[in-house]
Amino acid sequence: MYKHLLKLRYGYQPSIKFTHVHDSTQYTPVKMTVREAINLAMDEELAHDSNVFLLGEEVGQFQGAYKVSKGLFQKYGGDRVIDTPITEAGFTGIAVGSALYGLKPIVEFMTWNFAMQAIDHIINSAAKARYMSAGDQKASIVFRGINGATAYVAAQHSQCFASWYSNVPGLVVLAPFDCDDAKSLLKAAVRNPNPVVFLENEILYSETFELSAEARDPNYLAPIGKAKIMRQGDHLTIIAFSKMVQYSLRAAEQLFREGINCEVINLRSLRPLDRETILKSVKKTGRVVCVEEGWPQSGISAEITALIMEGGAFKYLDAPVQRVTGVEIPTPYAFNLEAMAFPKTEQIVDAILNVLKGAR
């Protein structure tokens, strides 16, 4: 019954079989799922540094609610892969204290919605400790879990926290898209001396991508604060992160067949933002569509729009910036309404065409 409830609520999939071998020096496949890439990153970092440990609800013997930590408990034992009670405030406080002591915890939240029980520890303790101690206390800690819309889990389990945490000085906020992002950004997060909020996406967990030779290197760390241009173009810039990168790439491919060449930027790092890459692309194309599944007010797209206005790119615009965001309502439970609440490829295509029509 317990597993059945998890399947209904969290997407538990007991039949998942991983294709990668944990010892990446022997063999790493060219393709893997995002779930496997995150698992491999944690495996490599647990092996690299004995101060690294993973804790959270069901991360150990149950292999993780989403099977992201599959095999790690068996390999590293219960002292480094720690199952906790259902108390986000409790185990997050323990993790922050251990980070201030010099350890490097990876805290898994089943969903970032549950992390609201622990937000005081994340913001008032982890994010502010270095500043309030004049640099004496460092909290090298990763908070990770699923963020944004999933499916059939309604308002309290399905929202985007990207703008919440990217508003806080002292935090690093990362949002991976593909396997390269998931593996190399998570490894960089674990080795970063600051607290890192790592926003994963449940729907992307089962997506398969090619893992580049660069990312397969156990020593490679993606640069934090650096966006990635997924597709070159000169007619319009699409700026997105996480799941919305996939929809943006589909929109760009569809419009390319009609002679419209869009540049697609995968932000990857939300705090710090890659101001240079954004502004350079805007100055090149002169047109911008920002895409996020979060709510529009005070969102990431709003911040990017302000950056364009204040960063010297306004005079290069041939049309106003247009945002494609989630609808400003709590996420509906009904599937047909839920589908209407978040951006899809068709909406991005419509926004691009509107911007091109309004260009000078």
pLDDT one-digit tens code per residue, 210-228: 999 999 999 999 999 999 9
pLDDT tens per residue, range 299-345: 999 999 999 999 999 999 999 999 999 999 998 888 889 889 999 99
Could you tell me what percent of the chain has a pLDDT over 90? 84
Give residue 30's pLDDT: 77
What is the pLDDT averaged over residues 224-250? Answer: 97
For the annotated catalytic residues, the residue numbers are 88, 157
Q: Is the pLDDT of residue 243 over 60?
A: yes
For residue range 20-46, list pLDDT tens digits in order.
Answer: 444 444 445 579 999 999 999 999 999
Q: What is the mean pLDDT of residues 108-112?
A: 95
C-alpha 82: how far from chain center: 23
Q: Which of 24-28, 125-129, 334-338, 354-358 has the highest mean pLDDT?
A: 125-129
Paired sense of beta strands 288-291 and 236-240, if any: parallel
Contact in structure between 266 and 299 (CB atoms under 8 Å): no
Give residue 18's pLDDT.
44
Q: For residue range 56-87, what is the model confidence (pLDDT) as tens digits?
A: 999 999 999 999 999 999 999 999 999 999 99
Q: Where does residue 244 fall: left (phi above 0), alpha (psi -120 to 50 degrees), or beta otherwise? A: alpha
For residue 100, what are the CA distances in angstroms to 57, 94, 104, 215, 287?
Answer: 22, 10, 9, 30, 45
Residue 38 near residue 183, CB atoms below 8 Å: yes
d(Cα 22, Cα 28) in Å, to the nearest integer?
A: 8
Residue 316 has what pLDDT? 96
Say if pTM beats, i.e. exceeds, 0.85. yes
Strand pairing class (31-33; 81-83): unpaired
Pick from 81-90, 153-162, 167-176: least confident: 153-162
Rounded mean pLDDT of 194-218? 95
pLDDT of residue 339: 87
